Amino acid sequence: MLKLYEENLTQKKQQLELARTRVELGLAPKSDVLKAEVEVTRAEVDLTQAKGELELARMELNDALGIDLDYPIKIEQVEFIEEQPPSIDSCITIALKGRPDLLRAQSDIMINAYNLKLAWLERLPCLTITGSYHLSADRFVFGGTPLTRTNLNRYSDWSISVGLSFPIFDAGKTWHAIKIASLYLDNSRLEYDKLKRSAILEVQLAYVDMVTGLKKIELTRKQLKTAQLSYDTALGRYRAGIAPITEVIDASIALLDSKLSYTSAMYDYLIAKSRLAVATGQLPYK
């Protein structure tokens, strides 16, 4: 925006010089110079205000970044590329698969479902199998019995026990754990559904903004071309002495408005494009 106001001031000064030249040649009234000077002053005011707004924006950015307000920063130029977004269904599919908040909510569902299974396992019978092996080592160490396979089998034995326990009464602790686990699982599913609806809405809004932004760029570009042609025509007519300077001034104001509208449309498009990227999980989520 600052560049546009600088160009506007340069343009107003050129109009002032043209008016002075025509007055000196006796081809225009002195009022043309006065009118041109007023426009130069107005352009200087607009430029000063734009510089002030830029400085405020820079300080707000520094504050958001957590750095000193006076710290100099350099803003990288963003390449402007017009591109149509994929279909709305594709954007929603990408969002449901890639958004960190949805992936995290899905993980919570899996964890709570696993915890519920563990809670239910406490209600099932518990099967235990234990085994032991006994060897009369004193016969070999102190009794002088030779260590052979036959003697090992003779003076050793195996035992295996199988047990099955049933949870008959635990003061309701198991059922309480199951109830709590079920509640957590239900809540995690509700939270996922809520996040899913919110994500779909966010994608749809960003998608509409991006499509609208593309249309605004197309329309304001046409408007800018028309305004530029109108200004060039008015300037040519003034130089030829067949139009008053007010026609040039009006055309100049319309040209600046068209440039600002076109630039604003590009900014809106880039913001909508970034919002769609965030909404679909293709940029770090806020």
32 touches 21 (CB < 8 A): no
Q: How far is CA 56 from CA 45, 51, 141, 166, 232, in A?
A: 17, 9, 93, 73, 35
CA distance 276 to 286: 13
CA distance 4 to 253: 12
Please tell me the predicted confidence (pLDDT) of residue 258. 95
How many Cβ atoms from other residues are within 10 Å of residue 89's Cβ? 8
CA distance 276 to 202: 8
- Residue 201: which of 78, 85, 88, 64 has the closest Cα? 88
* Percentage helix, strand, coil for the chain under 3-state DSSP, each rounded to 5: 70, 5, 20
Task: Locate 276 and state its tokens.
Answer: 């769609």
Please tell me the predicted confidence (pLDDT) of residue 286. 44
Per-residue pLDDT 10s for the chain (286 aa) are: 788 888 888 888 888 888 888 888 888 888 888 888 898 998 899 889 888 888 888 888 888 878 888 877 777 776 777 788 889 999 999 999 988 889 999 999 999 889 888 877 666 666 677 777 666 656 555 456 665 666 656 666 677 777 666 666 666 677 777 888 889 899 999 999 999 999 999 999 999 999 999 999 999 999 999 999 999 999 999 888 888 889 999 999 999 999 999 999 999 999 999 899 999 988 754 4
Please tell me the predicted confidence (pLDDT) of residue 146. 62
Using a cut of 0.75, tell me whether the model's pTM lies above it: no
Task: Locate 182 and state its tokens.
Answer: 């079920």
Give me the phi and psi of 163, to 5 degrees please.
Answer: -130, 150
Please tell me the predicted confidence (pLDDT) of residue 67. 84
Give me the phi and psi of 243, to 5 degrees please.
Answer: -145, 145
Question: How do residues 229-277 score in pLDDT, each as one tens digit?
Answer: 999 999 999 888 888 889 999 999 999 999 999 999 999 999 999 899 9
The answer for residues whose C-beta is within 8 angstroms of residue 27's C-beta and 6 or more apart is 241
CA distance 67 to 174: 54
- Residue 155: which of 142, 172, 174, 169 has the closest Cα? 142
